[in-house]
Structure formats: structure tokens, C-alpha cells
Amino acid sequence: MKRIFTIVGARPQFVKAAAVSRMLKKHGIDEVLVHTGQHFDANMSDVFFEEMEIPKPDHNLNINGLTHGAMTGRMLEGIEKLLLQEQPDAVMVFGDTNSTLAGALAAKKINIPVIHVEAGLRSFNMKMPEEINRIITDRISDILFCPTENAIQNLKREGFDLFPVKIIKNGDVMQDAAYYYAQKAALKSTIIEQLGLHHFVLATIHRQENTDDIQKLHHLIDGLNAINHEIPVVLPLHPRTEHILSQCHIRSKCIIIKPVGYFDMIRLLKSCQLVITDSGGVQKEAFFFGKHCITLREETEWVELVENGFNTLVGADENLLFAAYHTMKQKQSDFSLNLYGNGTAAEQIALTIKEL
Ligand code: UDP
């Protein structure tokens, strides 16, 4: 029986791991789940494990609240120790966080094959910590599961065709998760009834490039406040953003709620008029649930959404944001375009691992 070490640590990774974990189980693959502890609050971590029935982590390193270097370094040390004890057949990492990089690096240095899920994505913005994590993780991975054709092309441009690695376009595991859990969310979430809203915009802000630049954050909040004059804006606030807003006395007039669990998030996405976000995952989820999206960044890794008119980039410009709201709210699009695979992304990963 194959034995896989899965490394997770941050919210988007719980969603991705949920989809893959289910398929590993279905195909009889033994999974050892390691939580680095990067996200640890009940509503940033526990709720995902409970709702999505992700197996309880076998190990929790409880590493959080540190600078990038300290966090990655301590994770590297912790994961290496576990790998030396458990000697898995491969290590699987997701996306682009410090947990992704630490997991991949720890494994590769002791010659354990690395599987990167959501490989090949690029923003081409080297100021983003996530971009650095992605590039390094891809370069030291042995099997690269790419969600899109653009991701495949990015790797080709970087010469990956010449490397002895497996590159597989399997689609997006977040799409698998969104469709699978949507049915459960419809039965279990009461967020719309709690908020008493049927006509609203859903917004999220948490990217370091927006939260750590106070000017930018001011502009974004001003832009959202202006939209909130016309239609309620629901803002489930990431703890980092909440902390900075309160420290800097920036006042939002939007409907601020605590970060929600995945089921509530799905219902918010399905029920809203439009999505405004700087999240990678939420840009795609807007598309999965047939909503247009305004992205609070200068660039995106999910370029196919912009190319096809489902998404528009406004950076941190409040006037552009307000104008984009007016354009996007009128827009009619056909969301049936297949951009992210046929819903078997996670199963393809499990089948590939079975053959290792
Ligand atoms: N999410 C959630 N509750 C929230 C905000 C986001 O469940 O209050 C989910 C969202 O639906 C997506 C994932 O968290 O599946 C995205 O995480 P995040 O935006 O933190 O990270 P990114 O995708 O930008 O890396």
C-alpha cells in the first residue's frame, strides 16, 4: 500500500486537501496528514476539518505568528523530523504557502519524491511571497499537477520539458471540492437567513500586498464603502486584515463578519450578486458558482478568467473598483465554459499515486 505524507497549514489548503483526501481513501492510499499550524483559529482551521470531513491531522506542528523566514525554517525542521521517522513514498503539497515550500524542501533534501498540486501558476510578481513559494516548489517537485493549460505553458517556458519530472494537467481540485460540497452546504448553511440578505456583494481582502500597505488598504476600504452605499457588501474578515484595520483605525461601513466556514462561504458565493476579492481561490469559486468577479490586484494567476471576461483586475484603485462594479453588475456571461477540468482532478491525483 502506498503511503503519502500530505502537508497542509493554511485555509485554502484545507479545501484542496479535502477533495484529494477523499479520493486517496477511495483508492486505498494510506495518508499521513501533517498540519503545520500556520492557520489555527477555529474558524480558519477546525471548521474546515469538521465540515469537510478531512481526517484529523496525524501531526500538528503548531507553527504560526512568525516572520516568513522563521516560520518556514521551523516548519522545515519539524517536517524533516517527521519524514525521517515515517519514511513515506512521497510528500504532497498544495498551492503556494510557506507550508508548501517547507514541505517540498524538507522532502526533496532527503530524496523523498515531491508531488505539487496546483503547480505551474505564476503571477510574475516576485514581490508576492506566494510567487517565490510557487517557483521554488515547482522546481524541486517530481510530479506537477497543473490545473490549467496556462499553468502547463508557464512550466514549458521555464524549461520544465527538459527536467526528469512528470507534468500532468488534471484540472482544479478546488472545482471538485466546490461541486461536491455545494450540495451539503445547501442543506447545512443558514448564513443567508442569519444575515437576512438576498441582494448583496461578497468581498474578501487578505493578501499581504493589500493589507501591509496602509494606503492601499485605505483605498480598498473606501472603494468598498462607496459600493456599500448602493448594495450591501458582506465582508468576512481575515484575522490579519481585521487586526490591521483596527490598529490603523480604518473604518469599514460594510457588513463585517468573522471568517466563515466553507459551507457558509459556498452559500454566500451562490447567493451574491458579484464577488470582490484579492483571494486566489475565491476568484475561481466565483466562476464555479456563476458570478462575475472584481480582483483587487494588478495581476492574477487565473488569467483565463480575465481573458474570458469573467474577472477584471482593478488593483487597489478605489475609482477603478467603483467603475468596475458598475460594469460587472450589468454583465451577462455564459459560465458553462470548461476552464478547470471535468471534476476528476483529485481522482487523477489518487490514480497517479497508486501507480508510483
Ligand atoms: N474561504 C472560506 N471562508 C472565508 C473566506 C474564504 O471558507 O471567510 C475559503 C474560500 O471559499 C476558498 C479558500 O477559503 O476556498 C480561499 O482561501 P484564501 O482566500 O484564504 O486563500 P487564497 O485562495 O487566496 O490562497
Tell me the average pLDDT across 179-192: 97
Q: What is the pLDDT of residues 96-111, one digit of tens each?
A: 999 999 999 999 999 9
Q: What's the pLDDT at 131?
A: 97
Query: pLDDT higher for 325 or 1?
Result: 325
- Which residue's CA is minimally distant from atom 10 of ligand 1? 282
pLDDT at 220 over 90: yes
Domains of the chain plus CATH, in order, are 3-172+341-354 (3.40.50.2000), 180-328 (3.40.50.2000)
Residue 282 has pLDDT above 90, yes or no: yes
**Residues flanking ligand 1, CB < 6 Å:** 11-12, 15, 204, 206, 236, 259-262, 265, 279-282, 285
CA angle 279-283-285, nearest 5°? Answer: 115
pLDDT of residue 114: 98
Span 26-59, pLDDT tens digits: 999 999 999 999 998 899 999 999 999 999 999 9
Choice from 210, 282, 283, 289 to test ligand 1 binding pocket (greatest atom count within 8 A of CB)? 282
pLDDT of residue 1: 83
Atom of ligand 1 nearest to the CA of 15: 15
pLDDT in the model for residue 63: 96
Whole-number pLDDT of residue 242: 96
Ligand 1 atom nearest to 266, measured from its CA: 11
Phi, psi dihedrals of residue 293, rounded to the nearest 5°: -135, 140
Region of residue 159 (left: phi > 0; alpha: psi -120 to 50; beta: else): left
Q: Is 206 a catalytic residue?
A: yes
From the CA of 161, how far away is ligand 1's center (Å)?
32
In whole numbers, what is the pLDDT of the chain averaged over residues?
Answer: 97
Catalytic residue among 206, 219, 238, 292: 206
Provide DSSP, 298-345. Answer: S--S-HHHHHTTSEEE-TT-HHHHHHHHHHHHH----TT---S-SS-H
Q: What is the pTM of this model?
A: 0.97
φ, ψ for residue 31, nearest 5 deg: -115, 130
| pLDDT, tens digit (0-9, with 9 covering 90-100), for 233-254 | 999 999 999 999 999 999 999 9
**pLDDT tens-digit series, residues 287-309:** 999 999 999 999 999 999 999 99
Percent of the chain with pLDDT over 70: 100
DSSP lists the bridge partners of residue 295 as 277, 313
